[in-house]
Amino acid sequence: MKNSLAVLAFGAALTGAGAADAADIVANPKAAPNKIEQCIGCHGIPGYKATFPEVYQVPMIGGQSAKYIEAALNAYKKGDRRHPSMQGIAASLSDQDIADIAAYYSQQTPASPK
């Protein structure tokens, strides 16, 4: 358990209070399916473009690395990365949700490999 203390200290130093929980989180992709219902509407449709506030291409997230997805969601949550719909969605996710979702999507294969 020495490791989790180090992670805790590191996380707390890096991002302040909210990150303190991160040390206890074990990603569980099996818990993800009912958490990603709201994502599928945008991210599950090839070529779909969000219409608000602008015409945005919605990125495919299946097959991305879990670290990348987690970092992106945390960036939206903190406001470091800005996009109105994603910021609203990320803000509603707990650290556990983000870990589960990231693990789930990283296990998928990219829908249209090129």
Closest CA to 33 of 17, 45, 44: 44
The one among 16, 33, 59, 79 contacting ligand HEC by CB under 6 A:
59
- Whether the Cβ atoms of residue 58 and residue 49 lie closer than 8 Å to each other: yes
In angstroms, give the least distance from the CB of 3 to ligand HEC: 26
Q: Is 38 in the site for ligand HEC (CB under 6 A)?
A: yes
- In the complex with ligand HEC, which residue's Cβ is closer, 22 or 66? 66
Residue type, 1: M
User: Does residue number 41 form part of the binding site for ligand HEC (CB under 6 A)?
Assistant: yes
Candidates 3, 85, 17, 94; CA nearest to 51 is 85
Q: Does 103 bind ligand HEC (CB under 6 A)?
A: no
